[in-house]
Amino acid sequence: MKNSIKYFSFAVLAFAAFSAFKPSGNGISVGTAAVSADVKMKDVSGKELSLNDMKGQNGMLVIFISNNCPFVKLNEAEIAERADHVANRGYSVVFVNSNEGERKGNDSYEAMQKFADTYKKKQLSSFYYVMDKDAVLAKSFGATHTPEFFLFDKTKLVYKGALSSNDAAAVNARENYLRNAIVSTLEGMPVGVSSTPAKGSTIKAN
């Protein structure tokens, strides 16, 4: 009986974590410019900013996250390291919270501000963290999970998808997709694996 209960609990958690909400259309394609780039979103600084306002001189790394996502927490150090890597090379880092269904709880604006402080303590001082009202950006991008990554160079998307080949922690992963994409892009080389299935918790869009 106990084993049956454990199995059922695991199945429920797995379904909640990996089932995705439906984005509008197929989302953004590799090789195209950012979509919904003029949509204003509230940053943890209190400013209303669009992707066009936030884009860096050389590109932009957009990361869909949530404050309480276990996959984000598990990869906190890795995400901060990748973000810092590009932030020091003329790329902006934009964390996006599209969890409209959790605005009265773990993904409230106040909780986002506290979460941002966590990354500041990890020596990642140059980043934005915006609230995606009604999940407009997530739906336009086709983002369905947290964490989910979209790397842009000066003009176009060069990588989208998961952090690594591991379902959970990126440590000791067979392939670190985002890191490889960043290295290739910074060296002016084509990205070998430019699109991978997103992994993590489902975005709670409503």
Interval 184-202: pLDDT, tens: 999 999 999 999 999 899 9
- Residue 172 is given by DSSP the state T
Q: Are 44 and 119 in contact (CB under 8 A)?
A: no
13 vs 153, residue with greater confidence: 153
3-state class (DSSP) for residue 146: strand
Confidence band of 25 (pLDDT split at 50, 70, 90): low
pLDDT by residue (tens digit) across 101-157? Answer: 999 999 999 999 999 988 787 767 789 999 999 999 999 999 999 999 999 999 999
Domains and CATH numbers, the chain: 21-202 (3.40.30.10)
CA distances from 70 to 65, 116, 146, 173, 197 (A): 10, 16, 9, 17, 18
d(CA 105, CA 102): 5
pLDDT digits (tens, 9 = 90+) for 60-109: 999 999 999 999 999 998 999 999 999 999 999 999 999 999 999 999 99
Instruction: Look up the pTM and report it.
Output: 0.87
Which alpha helices (H) appear in 50-193, and where do they start and end? 51-54, 70-74, 76-87, 109-121, 136-141, 177-186
Helix (H) or strand (E) holding 66: none
